[in-house]
Structure 1
Amino acid sequence: MSDSQADAKRAVGHAAAALVEDGMTLGLGTGSTTAFAIEAIGRRVRDEGLDVRGVPTSYAAERLARESGVPVVTLDEIGLDTLPTSRSPLDLALDGADEVGPALGLIKGRGAAHVREKVVASLAARFVVLVDASKEVERLGTQAPVPVEVLPFAEPAVARALRGLGAEATLRMGEKKDGPVVTDQGLWVLDARFDGIDDPAGLDVAIDGIPGVLGHGLFVGLATDVLVGGGEQVRHVVQPRERG
């Protein structure tokens, strides 16, 4: 990571932490940019006595939150079964993205936490995405593959189905270890690379319908805001959308 990119991520993380208000229940995403936000929220907890709690989207996010002093809870502990279905259980979710396209469509999952991230994002009244300017694209799928989390048994069948949708599907292999990447759910990840995606909403439904797929990294209609960092400056993009 270059110094300028680190500065952009840090600025975005601090801007995101400034959105947090006392009493909020937060979704805490995974990745280097969101890490700056979690650390900044932790400082506010210590310095201001900010009263918040966070639902982490991965073991890595949970560990960082605890180290930073952000109280951690599970979805069970926030009492989903006692809340009306018309109310969003999370006030604010913060997370990064690998690509941000038109209408704030996203590709996420370089950290292989996209399934938990999508669950958390879907429960938030406001889902704010934190990126540096390099992640903005005019058309999704031009820079990043779509991660698809699969049952190991079904990997060959899912790869075949993805090829039928026009993707080049590659099993993600671990770095500094033998064998494939294993998610927090104990599953594998296929990276589906498309030559651009013309219909993200249609592809979202198509991939979800493949037997053996737990989830994928296309996020359509979920983001409400994007904070884009460039140097030490942050640009705020808002997508008007009714959320609970």
Structure 2
Amino acid sequence: MPEPLAIEVEAASKVIDGVTVLEDVSFTALPGRVTAFLGPNGAGKSTTLRAILGIDHLTSGRATIGGRRFREHPQPIRVAGALLSPDAVHPGRTARGHLAVVAASNGLPRWSVGAAIETVGLHAIATLPFGQMSLGMRQRLGLATALLGDPAVVILDEPHNGLDAATIRWLRTVLRTLADAGRTVLVSSHLMSEVEQVADDVVLIDEGRILAAEPMAAFVGSDEPGALEKRYLALVGS
């Protein structure tokens, strides 16, 4: 089990072509907890996740994992794994082939490929070319890639997209297991009913500003089914 590491975003702002897309964004995602990152399309969720991973640069502020910027860690793949786009794989490459390339290029042992395939249940499609996979299969491969380095932090951007009901239920178990093992799990999603069941904490962003960052129970204020969606809509509208 890797050393527990928290995600900390501090006064993060980003301006693109004179347009402010993030403004003074601050929140923490803690080890052992699933943090739901919620907000409408265009609210700044993906930009924030990319800043945490060092893909996008902030205009001001900081985004760190374990107190250091992601790229400052000696072996970043062991610090954080991410699923940002399920389509970032060559269409002719198999699931096993893709994982093998990622493992080799990051200095990971060969057995890590089999472990990732086992974790996400990719055996049946391990030799299927990526171009022939459904979106749900691609999401599973993306999750396997995120877990390849046995990271302390797992960041997933809309992982429920393209999944059927059984696979969504399976993903819920995976996320809970990762958090219960001490990992920091940060998930953006529009699937409120699912987030409500698995998340411990909520971070809500709209128009680049944080509207709430607190435990799920405090945010919804009710055990009534659908309370998360009602609270969300009350703050950001339909």
Q: Give the TM-score normalised by structure 1.
A: 0.31
By percentage of residues, which structure has more helix? Answer: 2
Asked which structure has the greater RCO (Cα within 8 Å, sep 6+), the reply is 2
Q: Give the TM-score normalised by structure 2.
A: 0.31
